[in-house]
Amino acid sequence: MNIYVSNLSFNVKDEDLQEYFAEYGEVSSAKVITDKFTNKSRGFAFVEMPDDEAAKKAIQELDGASVDGRTIGVAVARPKEERTGGGGNRGGSGGSFQKKGNYSNSRY
């Protein structure tokens, strides 16, 4: 099972997550997500546990727990959604960014 962990302290490392979840069973991987430019934590992570029952118990007991002074959120990770529209010069909708005023998306 893939588990999403939110509201992490920026001090929490992969090894720390591995330790927290290992109390409930085998951990396949534990990864704090970092910014690709600064390499600093973005405050959330993903943990994979092969045993669904152990994962459910970890979610139940760790959700709302205090870790490094912060109350973390722990839940089953949702599959990554396909992104639609576009950005840049691809001619898409530009996502959810809204311009003020009456502008056109067309360059011509």
Domain boundaries, the chain: 2-76
The fold for domain 2-76 equals Alpha-Beta Plaits (3.30.70)
Give the pLDDT mean for 78-86.
71
Count of all residues that appear for the chain in the document: 108
Contact 5, 44 (CB under 8 A): yes
| Helix/strand/coil for 59 | helix
Q: 8-23, pLDDT tens digit by residue?
A: 999 999 999 999 999 9
Q: 23-59, pLDDT tens digit by residue?
A: 999 999 999 999 999 999 999 999 999 999 999 999 9
Distances in Å between the Cα of 25 and the Cα atoms of 48, 49, 50 are 11, 7, 9
Question: Looking at residue 79, what is its pLDDT?
Answer: 83
Instruction: For residues 16 and 57, give the distance between their C-alpha atoms in angstroms, rounded to a whole number.
Output: 18
Question: Looking at residue 72, what is its pLDDT?
Answer: 96
Question: Looking at residue 99, what is its pLDDT?
Answer: 43
